Each structure stands twice: as structure tokens, then as C-alpha cells.
Structure 1
């Protein structure tokens, strides 16, 4: 009888331990699931974050909108309806501060603040920080549209140009977002006749200063109007990108229009349009070149490459 009671007691203890272990397991599972729950893309207004980041960046340096969205996803528990215009601008400004050091980027008075430093200012816990990084990973294929950046051929085109675009920025101050967006727009992602036959990614014409080979092609100069003109021929896309940087630098009108003084892509796109790089117009006769470039930059997150270049500058010169 005593032995039987002992067995019953042992069974009860075993069951209790199993139940306790199960409860702990369930708690860990749901804690993990909550911790790594994806960002709420359905409610996230990416354009709002892009606009807020750009508003803070104009005249300064480029703020990363994805960092902002990931932070708000955590602090508002994925409820983006709690976000206000004021909270967005306040958050964007946390990524910028006046630069009192001798390390200046293109004579800017500002420097970028690293993500971890912003999270520290916000007193985020370790689990909150981990969730921020998880949310950033969720956004890797999202620009102005959700999950629109998973076209491998387009991403490969961007990656192929980026190293040289970064060099152009270091040498001349033309932002990577502009170098890449102009190549996309002018060459149709490297598929236009001019880019295929002549490696001319930027539609640069063979003016009197050009001593190399030429090719005659049709071009759209105004709305619904095409003309034939001579364009520069290059031996490779790399030659085309290099000449693009030199073309802008050697033509005084680009300096005069403020291309090299601009520190943010919206300003630089307007300056390139003002200098007359393209005369493309809409059906109302309005110049739309800067608008077309801006759409590409925001859709493809090219401004984040500007951020990357600028941040790398500070890291490499500490």
C-alpha cells in the first residue's frame, strides 16, 4: 500500500513537472514569436517615412527612413496609427547632429548618428533593439511600394553600378542615388539601343569636345517628339560612368546650378534639371526630369545608398 502511494506521488510530481515544463515552453515560444513578429507592412505608410526622412535631410545629410520605420514599429507595437508628423520629424532629427569635429563631409555642418546610438537615446532594451534589426530586415525589399525590390535583374544592375557611383561621389560629390537613377532612366536599366550598342548609359551626346567614336541615334527631346543626334561611344559601362562624372564636373553650368553644393538627392536632382541635362517635358510643356529621377530613387531606395556612403565616410575617418 505504501509502495502504491509512493508511486502515485511520483506520478503526480512527474505530471506537475511536465506541465510546468510545457508552460515554460509555451511562454518561450510565444515570447520568441512576439519578439520576431514581422513589421506591420499593411499599416506602414512608407511614403510618409520617406518624406519625413527627406525633410530632415535637406541641406544636411541623408537620414535612413527604414531605421525610422523599424523604430516606430517597436515603440508603437506595430500600430502605426499612433505616429504623428511631429513624432516623425523628431525621430528623423535624432539621426543628425551638428558636426563639431574636424572630419567634415563635403563641407557639411552635420554628421550622421549611428542607429545604435539613437536606440540608446531612446532607452531601448536588448529585446527591443533585436526587434528593430529584425524589422529592418523585413523592409529590405520595400521602397515606395511594398515588396517591390525583389527583381533580381534590376538589383544586379544597381549593384553593378554602385561601386563606381560611390567613387564618383568621393571624387566629384555627385550622390550615388543620382548616378544610378540617371543610368536607370537614360538607359532603361541598361537595355536601350544606345546603352547596348555604345555602352552609353547616360545619353551623353558627342559634342565638339568629344574626340572618341560616335553613333547616330533617335532621342526624345520633348514630349512626344523625337530627333536624331550623335552620341558618345564607350568601350564599357565603366567608361561611361567615369565619363559621366567628368562630364558634369567639366561643364560649368552644373557647378553654377548648384549640383556640387547639394548634399541631398532632391536638391541635386533639381540642380541637374536646372542645368539642362535633359529637356524632357510632359504634355503641358513642364520640365519633369527631376521628378522622374526622384520617383526612381524613392522606388528603388537609392537614397539609402547615399546614407551608406555618408556613414562609411565617418566610420572610415574616425
Structure 2
């Protein structure tokens, strides 16, 4: 009897050791797999770094302002092209960019074609060729430009699903048509529509499809509505305004209105190839009487701010590079 008990004890001890070994083996495997996983993550971080272009608000403003400086009196250089190129050539260290270096880069996209200082605006592909970018560098530049699609001073307005972006996209084709027909920059047309109609939400816009606040004077033979409007800084008056069946009609009439009123030609609207100059010409021609509380005219500044905030100047750049 004693002998049998001894054998059973040995059997129990052997079973315990086997279970213990299995547990230890499983733990070793888990630890090994965990270490392999950690090494894999580290290698992934080393060899596959984040390749997304990142610009803060100060950097965005720098590129916009620098592009505008080199474009003034010429044609509109695309600030996103310049940012993407710098991100490639400075290997993502955008802190190396300065106002001077950005303007020098912007000059790459402007070719003087005549003694009269007429310019040709290059597209991105031609600009990259001029900079002797390799195929790999070109691919990165294009990728960064695409990533910058919804980036700007007011990014919420630039999202494809935003009401602001939809309003801009709705007006853009007709605005480009007006530029091709009359020389009014798309950025000016769209910014005036935004300002005058409050993004198409004003009573005048909703009730009469009047996006530009054009009044119904004695020369107007179409429909009209009477609405309350503001003059100068804080004066409020009632006046008659033109009424249209569609927004497209409003845009067409706006183009003819600017073309047929000689004060716009006299103030250089049609000689302006860049939005800052044309906005000021619109103000000088008396399109609006908007003033601040000290009596200073502010219409041009309002248009310029809207254009910068919504990247409307890039529409100008696109059509000018195709001309």
C-alpha cells in the first residue's frame, strides 16, 4: 500500500512540472512576439516617417503675402506651389524659407515675354522642369500640393463639404467666363458676390438672386425689388434693386454693368492683372461706399481679406497659367 502511494505522488509531481513548463514556454513565446512587435514598430517609424506637409498659420500667411508681392503688377503666382516646392528642396524644414527666398522662387513661374513687361505664368510642371527637379522630387511636390487643397487662412471654408466651398464652386465657372470675356478677375467677382450677398444668404440674394447689390436705376428695364440697404458707415436707406431669375443672370449682368460704366475703365479695372490692384480699382471707381467708423474707405481691404481667406487668388492663377 505504501509503495502505491509513493508512485502516485511521483505522478502528481511530474504532471505539475509539465504544466509549469507549458506555462513558461507560452510566456517566453509571448514575450518574444512582444519584442518582435516593438522592433517592427520602431523600424516602421524609422523608415516610414510621416510624409504630410504641415504649415502653421504664420507660415501660410508668409507664403500668401510673398506670392502676392512677386505677383503684383504681373500675374498671380500660386502660393501652394511655392510651399510644396520648398517642402521638397528644404527637406521639410520650412523654417529655412524667407520672404526673399519665396519671392525669388515665385519669379521662376513668371516669364517676361516682351519689352512691354508682358508676362507668361508657368504651370507647376513647367516650373518644376525649370528648377531641374528629379522625377522623385516632382512626385513629392505634386503630392504636397494635393495635400494643401483644404489648407488656408480659414480652412473650415475650404473643406469640400462646407457651404462656403460649395458657394465658391457654384460661382467659379461663370466667374472664369467673365474673366475671359471682360478681364474681371474670378477672385474679384466671387469676393464681391460673397461680400454683397453674405455668401448668397442676404434677403436681396434670396428674393431677387441679386448677388452684387446692383441698384435698379433709370437705365434698368427689368424686374426690381425694394430693399433696405446700408450706406457709408452706419446709414440705412431703402432703394430699388435689380431682380433676376437666376444667379447666372446676376453674374452676367454684373459683368456688363462693370464693362459699360466708363468709370471702371477710367480707374484701371481692366488694366489690373492681379487682385490687389483690381480690388483697389473697384473701390476707386465707386462700386461701394463702405467706410469704417473714421470715414476711411474699406471696400478694397474687405475684398482682399475675403480673397486671401478663401484662396480665391488661386482661381486667378489657374486661368492665367492656361492663357
Q: TM-score, normalised by structure 2?
A: 0.83
The offset of 1:124, in angstroms, is 2.1
Verify: 1:131 aligned to 2:128, yes or no: no
Verify: 1:244 aligned to 2:258, yes or no: no
* Runs of 4+ residues deviating >3 angstroms: 145-148
Whole-angstrom CA distance in 2 between matches of 1:59 and 1:299:
21
Whole-angstrom CA distance in 1 between matches of 2:249 and 2:157:
30
Q: Closer, same or farther in 2 for the Cα pair 1:245/1:224, shift >3 Å?
A: same
What is aligned with 1:186? Answer: 196
The offset of 1:85, in angstroms, is 2.1
Larger radius of gyration: 2
Q: Of 117, 123, 128, which aligns to 2:126?
A: 117
Indicate the larger mover: 163-172 or 39-48. Answer: 39-48
Q: How does 1:1-318 map to 2 (within 5 A)?
A: 31=47, 33-34=48-49, 37-42=51-56, 45-100=59-114, 109-146=118-155, 148-150=157-159, 152-313=162-323
1:43/1:79 contact within 8 Å kept: no
The offset of 1:253, in angstroms, is 0.4
2:64/2:308 contact within 8 Å kept: yes
The offset of 1:100, in angstroms, is 5.0
Q: Closer, same or farther in 2 for the Cα pair 1:270/1:138, shift >3 Å?
A: same
1:46/1:145 contact within 8 Å kept: no
Whole-angstrom CA distance in 2 between matches of 1:200 and 1:44:
36
Q: Which runs of 5+ in 1 are unaligned?
A: 1-18, 102-106, 314-318
The offset of 1:168, in angstroms, is 0.5
Give SS of 1:260's match: helix
2:111/2:121 contact within 8 Å kept: yes
Q: Closer, same or farther in 2 for the Cα pair 1:195/1:135, shift >3 Å?
A: same
Whole-angstrom CA distance in 2 between matches of 1:66 and 1:94:
14
The offset of 1:43, in angstroms, is 7.5
Q: Closer, same or farther in 2 for the Cα pair 1:42/1:52, shift >3 Å?
A: closer
The offset of 1:144, in angstroms, is 2.1
Give SS of 1:174's match: coil
1:186/1:203 contact within 8 Å kept: yes
1:77-123, Cα deviation, whole Å (9 max, x unpaired): 2222211222111001001011259xxxxx97100122222222323
2:212/2:254 contact within 8 Å kept: yes
1:62/1:303 contact within 8 Å kept: yes
Whole-angstrom CA distance in 2 between matches of 1:81 and 1:146:
22
Aligned length: 284
Whole-angstrom CA distance in 1 between matches of 2:285 and 2:91:
46
